[in-house]
């Protein structure tokens, strides 16, 4: 089976359940699916940063990657800003009180905070779009597909 046929088979098998999930499940189910997508993306982003030589602090990265989307889901600005502030302080305190040398402190803290803000913040907008209407999710998918081909 060629590469093109695998892609077509994957699309035919994978897309209908995803469409049904987007349309028929409630907001909390969709949020949990997006949170799973966020955590997988954060794991990949951390692996990419570590291949580039940037050490990411895992505990603050995953903590912020869960709390920030939750703040966006609940539309609680105080929780979101508090989680962002607490994640920043936790990142700096973790680096400060660790046994590791402070040689690449800025790279490590910066990599951790970029990890917390990049994928979680971007994918959280899917939850906001779903609250506005399911058709916006499909519009976004069509726009991404058109611009990627």
Mean pLDDT in consecutive groups of 10 residues from the start of the chain, 149 residues: 78 80 81 92 94 90 93 90 91 84 82 91 87 85 78
What is the model's pLDDT at position 149? Answer: 61
What angle is formed at CA 72 by the lines to CA 71 and CA 76, rounded to 5 degrees?
A: 55
pTM value? 0.80
What is the model's pLDDT at position 128? Answer: 86
What is the model's pLDDT at position 116? Answer: 92
What is the model's pLDDT at position 1? Answer: 66
Distance separating alpha carbons of residues 80 and 68, to the nearest angstrom: 6
Provide the token pair at 60.
């603050």
Distance of CA 68 to the CA centre of its chain: 10
Q: Rounded to a whole number, what is the largest CA-CA distance in the chain?
A: 53
């Amino acid at each position: 089976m060629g590469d093109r046929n695998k892609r077509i088979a994957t699309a035919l098998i994978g897309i209908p359940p995803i469409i049904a999930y987007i349309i028929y499940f409630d907001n909390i189910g969709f949020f949990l699916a997006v949170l799973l997508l966020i955590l997988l993306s954060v794991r990949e982003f951390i692996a990419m940063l570590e291949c580039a030589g940037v050490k990411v602090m895992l505990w603050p990265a995953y903590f912020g990657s869960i709390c920030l989307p939750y703040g966006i889901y609940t539309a609680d600005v105080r929780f979101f800003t508090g989680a962002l502030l607490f994640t920043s302080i936790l990142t700096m305190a973790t680096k400060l009180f660790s046994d590791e040398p402070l040689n690449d402190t800025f790279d490590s803290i910066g990599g951790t905070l970029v990890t917390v803000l990049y994928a979680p913040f971007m994918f959280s907008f899917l939850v906001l779009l779903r609250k506005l209407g399911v058709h916006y999710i499909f519009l976004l998918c069509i726009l991404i597909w058109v611009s990627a081909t």
